[in-house]
Amino acid sequence: MKFRVLPDPIQSVTTILNSKITSVSSKNFNIDFARIDILDESIEEINSIIDMVKSGNRLEGKDYTNGNLNREI
What digits encode the pLDDT tens for the residues 21-59? 778 887 878 888 888 888 888 999 899 888 988 888 888
Higher-confidence position of 63 and 44: 44
- Is the pTM higher than 0.85? The answer reads no
Tell me the C-alpha distance between 23 and 20, whole Å.
Answer: 9
Q: What is the pLDDT of residue 30?
A: 85
Q: What is the 3-state secondary structure (H, E, C) of the chain?
A: CCCCEEEECCCCEEEECCCCEECCCCCCCCCCCCCCCCCCCCHHHHHHHHHHHHHCCCCCCCCEECCCCCCCC
Tell me the C-alpha distance between 54 and 63, whole Å.
Answer: 20
Tell me the C-alpha distance between 57 and 42, whole Å.
Answer: 20
Higher-confidence position of 39 and 73: 39
